[in-house]
Structure 1
């Protein structure tokens, strides 16, 4: 075969191959594998549900760009095993709640190529593959305390927290401080059940506060919130809800604090998909806007709204100082 004929045939085959490659659609990038640990119930009307709502919102927004594995309702003692399971199959692992932090820090050292985000994480050991997102619960709890004092008819309010860890205790202290900021003479009752999900203990704590005059209650609970609701319903008192604005959905609730749990879940996933995810501590709170942190009195007056807005500004400026967490 003459060289010129051979060259023409090779050229023709090359052209056909190029045309074929152009006609074949580009292969879509593999979806980001996301593992999420929701230690409590995704329908607890609290922290866990807010986190789950953020996951659902991320799935709706990102579609086929992510593939999700979720583990729900895990005891504290089983968190390390659950996180190990997630880390072995996913590129991003999210722990929803500060109670996951110790286990995340431990497991992440065994999976250095996996990214871990803790929603509700505080300043702690710094690792190259771990991000801690601080919802600044103490910050918005101060504002919630101010709202409670405005709404209380008896001049007495209460708080029930779950595990007695720094972020939960600091939020309780600041709720009381916020109430006293509005009414220095207000009575404040603070209790911890030692368990975010214990319905009986949270009901007992709330009933004890009601017996001493408390008529507006705040909480950092998961399923334990059911006990608080039972007590309030039985005694005709009111609740300030946490995490998400559900105004108008239940007459028991007169206000809601927004702590952006779902917002942070979305943030972690979107940053990982975009390739901009970063390790390290990141504070959210009021400085990140109303999706991250806010306070809403259901049907609140203009005077109440203006007062809460001023308190939020004073916290951000440092005029009002609050605890960490």
Structure 2
């Protein structure tokens, strides 16, 4: 039987143990982040690949995001039940780190679809050194942790070719470009689209604008309508859902669009050509490299040098002369005869 004093000491000890236990429980998630992936690694011992994919926009945007999703879907068909994917889409900038953390705790490889994921990936990757991260649209400028790969789609390179195609297809002698965020890679693509158009027609009228948001339909429609009012009849873009606005304006006025990312000729008469920037190809490439145990970190340039699946330009109703000119321009870019911006 305890005395009152002993009982008081015992009660104090119990309260101390409870407080320490509560503190350990509170800290446990932070301490256990790395082991959480080790558990996933154990689950993956059956040779099942587990890949997480962050798609900041909509996987049905008819643009970059959809192309990336198509690449993941192609890999799923290629590997079947050996591949398990977890996809998070429509994530804004403020929530990217949380989404990437979620993916990193459950997967061997995490793919960020778009350069806008790069800052968050570089931060989160340091917390998960045993997880591989690939950025589709990663740029060369920043140093990367040893578990991060950045795949450069070389948008400015193919934008030059798209500008040349636009000038060849234009009946009015005026073309336009609408970009989303006014960041270096998007601005460089706009610059080179204009250069490509002037390469074919030095007197071409060129209109360039930015909406500040890849998904703003109203602003993209307004920018395209303004270019149409000044004579533009062929339009190019780097937009996601904002493309819907460009489509609306072009359809109303009978003008046409050069689509981006994937060849979908014949699917919509509004589109007269497509630039291929291999977004889906790169997503599939990352998964295939993981499967072969050949995944490598660091910067990797894709673009024209990686072949037609990675980069190219398709005119839907082309002529032999058009095809020959496009081929000559692509060869001149590869040889360095035509110099284009990075990005």
Superposition TM-score, scaled by structure 1 size: 0.91
Question: Per-residue deviation at 1:64?
Answer: 2.0
Q: 1:28 to 1:80 in 2, by over 3 A?
A: closer
Equivalent-residue separation in structure 1 for 2:47 and 2:117 (angstroms): 28
Is residue 54 from structure 1 mapped to residue 67 from structure 2 by the alignment?
no
How far did 1:262 drift? 0.4
Give the whole-Å Cα distance in 1 for the aligned partners of 2:284 and 2:305.
17
2:249 equivalent in structure 1:
231
What does 1:86-101 correspond to in 2, within 5 Å?
86-101=103-118
Q: In the TM superposition, what is the alpha-carbon distance from 1:28 to its structure 2 partner?
A: 8.0
Indicate whether 1:172 and 2:199 are aligned: no
1:152 aligns with 170
Q: Deviation at 1:88?
A: 1.1
- Residue matched to 1:131: 149
Q: Measure, in 2, the Cα distance between the counterparts of 1:192 and 1:104.
A: 25
Shift, 1:136, TM fit: 0.3
* Residues in 2 aligned to 1:251 and 1:72: alpha-carbon distance in whole angstroms: 29
Within 2, Cα distance between the matches of 1:239 and 1:77? Answer: 32
Does residue 190 of structure 1 match 2:190? no
| 4+ runs deviating over 2 angstroms | 27-30
1:43 aligns with 2:51: no
| CA distance, structure 1, for counterparts of residue 93 and residue 209 of structure 2 | 21
Alignment TM-score, normalising by the size of structure 2: 0.86
**281, 286, 293: which one aligns with 2:299:** 281
Any conservation in 2 of the 1:94–1:119 contact (CA below 8 Å)?
yes
Match of 2:101 in 1: 84
Q: Secondary structure at the match of 2:342?
A: coil
- Where does the alignment leave 5 or more consecutive residues of structure 2 unmatched? 1-43
Partner-residue secondary structure (3-state), 1:290? coil
- The separation in 2 between residues aligned to 1:103 and 1:29, in whole angstroms, is 30
1:307 aligned to 318, 325, 341, which one? 325
Q: Whole-Å Cα distance in 2 between the matches of residues 207 and 166 of structure 1? A: 25
